[in-house]
Amino acid sequence: MTATVPVTASPVAPCPACGAWSLPALAERSALLEVCNVLVVTALASLGRKIVRQPRSRFKEFNGRPWHVAHTQWRPDVKDVDRTLDSAWDVLPALLSARRADALGISAEQVVTCLDEYVRLLLERGLEHEPSSLRYWLSNRLGLVLPEEHS
């Protein structure tokens, strides 16, 4: 017969002895970073399609570049930005269930606000999205300790 040991420490807390993060904590944070990266690229691509098609003459000038960089060439219309970003983050509350959000120490609303600010900053300054920039933004804004980048 096997006795179960009650778990009193959070599985996502750093080791009290060495300060190292457990694998589940790093995996959760890494997954969040990857999901956020995909959501940002998807939002920028959706907006990019609108930018390139208004006016249609831009399509030839854009010359088959990725949709998610269109904002670096032309400024998007504010209404298009608001409409696109209004629904861009809808999946986050479902992905960040209460249990997962508690484990990460952040709420879905905080992540939504953070991503919205990040994308609006890229649009305002005409900057390309870089995963390392998003990593820095999430870490800095949300106080998340994220796994190291691997090259």
Span 102-139, pLDDT tens digits:
667 888 899 999 999 999 999 999 999 999 999 999 99
Token pair, residue 31, equals: 């997954």
- Mean pLDDT in residue range 8-36: 64
Cα–chain-centroid distance for residue 21?
A: 21
pLDDT number for residue 98: 65
Instruction: Report, as an integer, the average pLDDT of 3-29.
Output: 54
Beta-carbon contacts of 106 under 8 Å, excluding residues fewer than 6 positions away, are 96, 142, 144
* pTM: predicted TM-score of the whole model, two decimal places: 0.77
> Is residue 40 a contact partner of residue 115, using CB atoms and an 8 Å limit?
yes
CB 149 within 8 A of CB 34: no
pLDDT tens for each residue of 76-108: 889 999 999 999 999 988 888 766 666 678 888
Minimum mean pLDDT among 52-61, 85-94, 138-147: which range? Answer: 52-61
